[in-house]
Amino acid sequence: MMIHMKSRTKHRFIRACLTLCTLIGPIVATAGTARATDDDLSDDARLVGYEGKHVVLDAGSAPSYMLLFALGVVGLSVMFKSAKRTHLD
């Protein structure tokens, strides 16, 4: 009886968390995209002192994804390491 009640309470808690995430998720997502569309090209500290109109272009996100992939390969490769090997091999 007690195990069944704990299970039901656990399911209610999970359902409440998922409902909360479903309700708050779109609000957080729209705030992030609204902030991302702000194209303010005001004075950049790296360009102060140069003559003329210069603009620093934003870089893409490819290097970040390549680094994430490389670190993922390193992390997953540890899982397939042979435990029978020693430092003497």
Digit-coded pLDDT (tens) for 27-86? 777 766 655 555 555 666 777 777 777 777 777 788 889 999 999 999 888 887 766 666
- Calculate mean pLDDT across residues 7-23: 86
Chain centre distance of CA 11:
27
CB 8 within 8 A of CB 22: no
Percentage of the chain beyond pLDDT 70 is: 67
At residue 78, the pLDDT reads: 80
At residue 36, the pLDDT reads: 52
**Torsion angle defined by CA atoms of residues 17, 19, 21 and 26, in that order, rounded to the nearest 10 degrees:** -170
At residue 37, the pLDDT reads: 52
CA-to-CA separations, 79 to 44, 75, 76, in angstroms, rounded: 45, 7, 5
